[in-house]
Chains A and B, each alone.
Chain A
Amino acid sequence: MLLFLLFFPLAIGGLVFILPGQKSRNRMLIFTALLHSACVFSFWKFKPAFVLNGFLGLDALGLLILSVVSVLFLMVSFYLMGYFKNESDLAHRIFIGFLLFFLSFMTLVTVSRHFGLLLIGIEATTLSSVPLINFVKTRQSIEATWKFLMICLIGIALALLGTYFLAVAGMDNAQSLFLDKLLIHAKELSLPWFKMSVIFLLIGCGTKMGLAPMHPWLPDAHSQAPSPVSALLSGCLLNCAFLSVLRVGQVCFAAGQTQFFSSILILLGIISLGVAYVFILGQEDYKRMFAYSSVEHMGILAIGIGLGGAGIYGSLLHVINNAFTKGFVFLVTGNLYKQYHSKKVSEVKGVLRAYPITGIFLLAGLLAVSGVPPFGTFISELMILYAAVRGHHYVVAFLYCLFLALIFIGIADIILKMIQGGPVHEPVIQSPNCHPERSEGSHICQDSSPFGLRMTNNRESWSMIMPILFLIVIVLILGFYIPPFLDNMLQKASGLLGG
């Protein structure tokens, strides 16, 4: 079953390269996504067996992340139907194909039970997301791709070294890098090597996860990629990286080194919050702003895990909330870009008036991103704060509150500027460099009439609204009510980390 889950998207991805016709490719994409999520949800009922003599297996953590990935991917693939209008056939082939590869590699990350395999999966996700980020080959996007590639590869190299250290640490007992074996023998690992490995692994996976100060690739990549891709990056990819951090955490918990592990994570988390505050305040590019808010939320996750106890449950819950929130927020930015052809905050005005639906979505985005009820992020962030208070980490709690408040100030300032007031009447014309997403840039010529805005408003197609709506609804529901099955799963998962 797992193998099917792995190789089916891979195969389809291969098939897509030779498949003619965008429609059929889109259908293929959606079909795959549907099947994938169907399988994943069957796993909630029937637990899949380990395969490849224990290389692949699915525990609560993996299942959690996997389902998030799968749902978000499904939504994004729906969104893509309305997103691509007219771009070159080849580009489309490549895009869809690598999208599917990306999916399968993310699946690999979530199901792998072996550290080596885990890292292979992560590196694979990196490589397969390169063509997606570099979809429109402008200078900025190439630069972003290059940075993304270099920094992530280096990070993963360090993580690889870390796994080797882990193997060395377990040389005379665990004898291998299988997660389960390590968990059993965790107590006998030789400490210095183990600690070194943890440090390397954390830095490596932290780089991929976008924790400051390894974050610099993140804002560039997210802002330059096409919006659906940014949604996938910050909704799925970062969580996969987070999963690898959690795996390290599992071992540390088993080895009784939680203190060591959590101190590092809390440090990184606080730094990320600080960095997010610095760059969100007075940010001119709204996609960059949301990217930095991803950094912030990764920081929150790290802090939650570091605090332990209720914090682990909280941050696992926050994984879900944040993934969907970020997903729909970036999709909304896609809509915005379609309508305004600019990522500059200063050139987007009066959204709420000109495009009511997008405006409301953006508003929901503001509230959800900054953890305002009734959105689920509120509960999860509150739980993490609770963990901090419960554990008497008053300094952490204080900094957490302070930075969240400052970040809210920044985000609210920007988004309120965008949604309120009267709409700008003349559409904004720019030099082609300023809008990397050429596929969307192609609308400009039609829009350069005073009524361009109205016209684009009509173009706000259902396929670009429904997925966003769906995601928003999920986050909303999670704010009111956590269904028991999810609760059990979260309990089980946090149990793995000693929560």
Chain B
Amino acid sequence: MIFLLVSLFILTTSSLLIFLFCQSRKISARLFLWSLVAACGFGLLSAGSVLCQKTMVGPLTSVDFQVPVHLPLGEFYIGIDPLSAFFLLLLFIVSLAAGIYGYGYLRDYSGPRNVGVHLALFHLLTIVMVLVLVAKNAVLFLAAWELMTVVSYFLITFTNDNEQVRKAGYIYLIATHVGVFCLAFMFLVMGAQAGSMNFDRMTMTPFPLGLSALLFMLAFVGFGIKAGFIPFHVWLPHAHPAAPSYISALLSGVLIKIGIYGLMRVMVIVKDFPLWCPVGLLIMAAISGVGGVLYALGQHEIKKLLAYHSIENIGIIALGLGIGMIGHAYHQDTVALLGITAALLHTFNHAIFKGLLFLSAGSVIRSTHTGDMEHMGGLLKRLPWTGHLFLIGSLSICALPLFNGFISEWLVFRSLLEGVFHLDIFGIIFSILGIVALALIGGLAALCFAKAFGVIFLGHNRSSEGHDYKECDLTMRGPMVLLAVICLWVGLFPTTMVDYAFQAAQVLTGVPMPLALKVAIMNPLLLATRVLSYGIIIFVILALLRRFLMRHYLVHLTETWGCGYTKPSSRMQYTASSFAKPILKIFRSVLFFKVEAVRPKGYFPTEGKLSSSVKDVSEIFFFRPLFFVIKKFSRKLKWIQSGHTQIYILYILFLLVILLVWKLH
């Protein structure tokens, strides 16, 4: 705990100092860098110390700290239990990486905005996110949550001269703030039930099933907006392209995970829900996962694509969570623990590799000055570091073996299969649904990232004007390398993280982990990694064989075989849209996939055009009409303020008469 307080203290003071020195960029940047490193170090220590404790006291060991400040409902009461600690872990890792990267990113920023203030806000965001994670009082939680929204809004709209950015920020602010009302409602209902706003007291109190269903729905909407479940995901694809890359890394790595954290916290407080709640969660998860990756396939703007992938991964996480809750509802501890562990681990992994992806995407955008994949290509030669780091990221997000994504998806699959084994027909049906969804997600994700990596980094360069691509420097490379290393580490030696995830999962299930089950989970993972090592050995052997066979041939290089075309040009490559077209055509009915083509005509054809696009259903067909209706309604009623005094007096009279009739008939 003390470590956490220290890091909070460092962050607070340094953010104030940065704000004071915001005029001189040099000082503020230095200050930012070192304070960030120190604070994150202490934070990681605190999280680790909680997660490593091997006490048999049971899962609910939490270290508390309280400041005697009187507010009507709330008090400043924080504590770390394994669940919070787990999220703190990823928070500190990602914000460390993103922060250092941002320091490098902004070094040669020459815009009108004040960098010092921006950096101070970055610290502030870290602080409030920590507070959300460790808050043990609903009001503190809400306040921190709300602040988180506001601060992140300002970070997103850093470059708000751009109309697009302003719009994106506005959508983000609106969406999340509306979510806050659901949360406030939910927590207050809990508080009214428990008679106190402290989480501990709430955890003690039992909730009647009907009420808990209501709470679940409120929580799902409130936290789901933040986490980006379909159909509440609307803000994500707007916010990410608008924000600077390290901010999107933080958003998608940590911020949306905090939505997941909230959901889990609610599950800790309200222990049992009616069965349809987890089932609903599972279904929404399947929809978000598949929908997210399908939309991602349709995107050609790199950060939009990554944003939709965040939605997909939230779907995967929620699949694990859902099956875990179903298992909990059936009192199948194996399924429950497995599912929740899988969800937690995937949360961590996604934070890491999505952070990596966003950061590397950022340095791509920084050197190409565009986010449109159709103008990229062949960058692996020009930006070797970025390219390879992006490759590692995409291998992880495709859950391919050797990388961390595989471990967590393996766990999710495992839990779903356990569900198939241990549940009754009803449960089996939904486990199958989960399996199908997850399989589809995995395949599509692989397809999508083959497209992304291939189109951005491989082949010829598509852009017409020649850029001077310059590779990012050490301060930007370092954090990415750190994240990449973590990806590989978790992929090859998963035991530690899985162990931590177990610690956290026990908080949710409330039952301490039987050792046998732990072994039953751990062993396969170890064996799987052993198979992977065999694979590596085979690879080495093959490589040596190849070297041996080719020893006395000199490799000669030519053009790619153009299949008979005499002048193959870079514009003849497969583009991102054409790569994704077949699969999108298969799913066109749900995606509203449309291809507009202007075909060249005549003997001396003028230039033709071809563009394909997918429509985000929930945005186009739900939210926009909704807002339109709201605005229209308010415009319809403007006549109330007609400007005639006489009419106004009439209102008073009417009210008088109505009240008299109503009250004294």
Contact = CB atoms under 8 A, between A and B. Distances in A.
Interface residues of B, number: 54
A484 B70 contact: yes
Nearest to A484: B70
Contacts of A195: 663-664
A481 B70 contact: yes
A217 interface: yes
A340 interface: no
B69 to A, nearest CB: 5
Given A382-B188, A401-B184, A314 B652 contact: no
B73 A379 contact: yes
A203 B170 contact: no
Contacts of A207: 652
Interface string A405-447: 1101100110011001110000000000000000000000000
A150 interface: yes
B634 A281 contact: yes
B637 A278 contact: yes
Given A154-B649, A378-B146, A385 B184 contact: yes
Interface stretch (A325-333, A366-374, A458-466): A366-374
From B150, B166, B173, B652, residue with most partner A Cβ within 10 Å: B652
Contacts of A200: 656
Contacts of B170: 412-413, 416
A216 B648 contact: yes
A379 B664 CA distance: 37
B651 A216 contact: yes
B382 interface: no
Nearest to A389: B188
Interface string A93-121: 00000000000000000000000000000
A279 B639 CA distance: 10
B649 A372 contact: no
A417 B166 CA distance: 8
Given A199-B659, A379-B72, A412-B174, A389 B185 contact: yes
Nearest to A310: B72
A487 interface: yes
A298 B585 CA distance: 56
Contacts of A481: 69-71
Contact of A150 (B144, B640, B645): B645
Contacts of A412: 170, 173-174, 177
Contacts of B329: none
B161 interface: yes
A426 to B, nearest CB: 18
A470 interface: no
A300 to B, nearest CB: 14
Nearest to B178: A405
A151 interface: yes
A484 to B, nearest CB: 7
B147 interface: yes
Interface string B638-657: 10110001001101101110
A202 B659 CA distance: 10
Given A310-B72, A383-B72, A482-B70, A420 B160 contact: yes
B143 A378 contact: yes
B655 A203 contact: yes
Nearest to A404: B181
A147 interface: yes
Contacts of B185: 385, 389, 397-398, 401
A264 interface: yes
B157 interface: yes
B82 interface: no
B386 to A, nearest CB: 31
B166 A278 contact: no
A282 B635 contact: yes
B649 A151 contact: yes
Nearest to B177: A408
From A155, A389, A484, residue with most partner B Cβ within 10 Å: A389
Contacts of B178: 405, 409
Interface in A380-408: 382-383, 385-386, 389-390, 397-398, 401-402, 404-406, 408
Contact of A373 (B143, B166, B655, B663): B143
B498 to A, nearest CB: 37
A275 interface: yes
A313 interface: yes
A278 B641 CA distance: 10
A143 B658 CA distance: 29
Nearest to A150: B645
Contacts of A4: none
Given A199-B656, A383-B72, A214 B651 contact: yes
A385 B641 CA distance: 29
A401 B656 CA distance: 28
A277 interface: yes
Contacts of B143: 373-374, 378
A314 B635 CA distance: 32
B630 interface: yes
Contacts of B633: 278
Contact of B146 (A151, A373, A389, A402): A373
Given A192-B664, A279-B641, A353-B112, A217 B648 contact: yes
A413 B627 CA distance: 13
Interface in A268-286: 275, 277-279, 281-282
Contacts of A317: 72
From B144, B150, B634, residue with most partner A Cβ within 10 Å: B634
B631 to A, nearest CB: 6
B641 to A, nearest CB: 6
A385 B188 CA distance: 8
A147 B648 contact: yes
Contacts of A373: 142-144, 146-147
B641 A216 contact: yes
Contacts of A402: 181
Contact of B188 (A150, A386, A417): A386
Contacts of B635: 282
B634 A278 contact: yes
Interface in A472-489: 480-482, 484, 487
Contacts of A379: 71-74, 139
B160 A219 contact: no
Contacts of A192: 664
A487 B70 contact: yes
Interface in B374-418: none
Contacts of B142: 373, 382
A406 B631 CA distance: 10
Interface of B: 69-74, 112, 139, 142-144, 146-147, 150, 157, 160-161, 163, 166, 169-170, 173-174, 177-178, 181-182, 184-185, 188-189, 191-192, 630-631, 633-635, 637-638, 640-641, 645, 648-649, 651-652, 654-656, 659-660, 663-664
22 contacts: A150-B645, A203-B652, A213-B652, A213-B655, A217-B648, A282-B634, A367-B150, A372-B150, A373-B142, A379-B74, A386-B73, A386-B191, A389-B185, A389-B191, A389-B192, A390-B188, A401-B184, A413-B170, A416-B166, A416-B170, A480-B71, A482-B70
Kindly list the 6 A-B residue pairs having the minimum CB-CB distance in the complex, ordered from nearest: A373-B143, A401-B181, A213-B651, A281-B634, A216-B648, A389-B188
Interface of A: 146-147, 150-151, 154-155, 158, 192, 195-196, 199-200, 202-203, 207, 213-214, 216-217, 219, 260, 264, 275, 277-279, 281-282, 310, 313-314, 317, 353, 367, 372-374, 378-379, 382-383, 385-386, 389-390, 397-398, 401-402, 404-406, 408-409, 412-413, 416-417, 420-422, 480-482, 484, 487
Given A217-B648, A279-B638, 13 more contacts: A151-B652, A196-B664, A199-B664, A202-B659, A214-B648, A214-B652, A219-B641, A372-B146, A379-B139, A383-B73, A385-B185, A405-B178, A417-B166
